[in-house]
Structure 1
Amino acid sequence: MLPPDSLEVPLIRRLGAGVAVLHAGTVLLVSRGNNALWDVPGGGADAGESPEDTARRELQEETGLSVGALRSLGVFPHRHTYPDGNVVAWETHMFTSDFAGGEPRASDDAAEVRWWSLAALPGGVSDATRAYFAALTAVRA
């Protein structure tokens, strides 16, 4: 435990998951309401929740969509400092899945949802999202 006068912020470790939904050369992204960055739908795992279940739940919460089979894209470790000063070390399990139909709508912490070309990322993405796209591009090449 840190002394009360310590300036160090403890590192919080979290498991996360997301899913890149693919459709006709595009990928579905959400703009986060808390930072306006574009990202794949995803978030933190609930206690005892598998990465696959986390990815499906977060997709449903943020876009209203469901998907079929998930394909693993990999595990992406990264750190994020939140506005409150907390530093979270994420271990994010990223999946891809084909679009199964429906009309995506922004909800939960997603301010906007939109299809983007796989050929070019939008402006305003995090380093973690860039890493997801680099892996996705390598797999699709």
Structure 2
Amino acid sequence: MGRIDYVDDPGAPDANSVVPSVVAIVRDDVGRVLLIHKTDNNLWALPGGGHEIGESIVDTVVREVKEETGYDVEVESITGTYTNPRHVMAYEDGEVRQQFSIAFRARLVGGEAQTSSESSEVVWVRPQEIGALDMHPSMRMRIEHALEKRSTPYLG
């Protein structure tokens, strides 16, 4: 199902849902960042997705990374919260979701790359190459905050 992201757009549709979601910043032993090419908006992104009933938020990170990339991770820390009410995602089915995302740093512990219905590519990218990728600005911001190694998580 396709989606359109709106940020600070006065023509954006009104939100009709909020779904807590996560993204994971996973780096390999040479410092590359794990990224996926998303099938819903055709952009590069961190792996992640919606929190489900019956799981902890850490379980959500582990599950989403595994589902979208094939890799197993262990969550290390929170790098930021992203709750801009002026950022909404409109889906083909009529849902218009207000952004509510928590970004986590996670450590690779196993698995191997595999795509899914949500990811057409799974790659490791050097930080200096990320700027050349077609990526939503909100995703780029999450990566920048995580790579800054801030002493406290970004709160926004």
For normalisation by structure 1, the TM-score amounts to 0.83
Deviations 1:44-64 (CA, angstroms, capped at 9, x unpaired):
111243221111110111111
CA distance in 1, matches of 2:67, 2:110: 16
Sequence identity percentage: 30
Instruction: Write out aligned runs for 1:86-125 (5 A).
Output: 86-121=95-130, 122-125=132-135
1:72 counterpart (72, 78, 94): 78
Bigger Rg, structure 1 or 2: 1
Check whether the contact 1:9–1:86 (CA below 8 A) recurs between aligned residues.
Answer: no
2:66 counterpart (50, 60, 69): 60
CA distance in 1, matches of 2:34, 2:41: 18
Deviations 1:64-88 (CA, angstroms, capped at 9, x unpaired):
1111242211111242223445321
Q: Which residue of structure 2 aligns with residue 21 of structure 1?
A: 26
CA distance in 1, matches of 2:92, 2:44: 17
Check whether the contact 1:79–1:87 (CA below 8 A) recurs between aligned residues.
Answer: yes
- Which ranges of structure 1 fall in alignment gaps of 5 or more residues? 1-7
Does residue 131 of the first structure (1) align with residue 141 of the second (2)?
Answer: yes
Residues 93, 114 of structure 1: CA spacing in aligned structure 2 closer, same or farther, 3 A cutoff?
A: same
CA distance in 2, matches of 1:102, 1:66: 5
For normalisation by structure 2, the TM-score amounts to 0.75
Shift of residue 90 of structure 1? Answer: 2.2
Counterpart of 2:143, as a letter, is: F
Q: Secondary structure at the match of 2:60?
A: helix
Q: Cα RMSD between the aligned structures?
A: 2.1
Counterpart of 2:82, as a letter, is: F
Q: Which residue of structure 2 aligns with residue 4 of structure 1?
A: none
Residues 10, 91 of structure 1: CA spacing in aligned structure 2 closer, same or farther, 3 A cutoff?
A: closer
Check whether the contact 2:36–2:47 (CA below 8 A) recurs between aligned residues.
Answer: yes
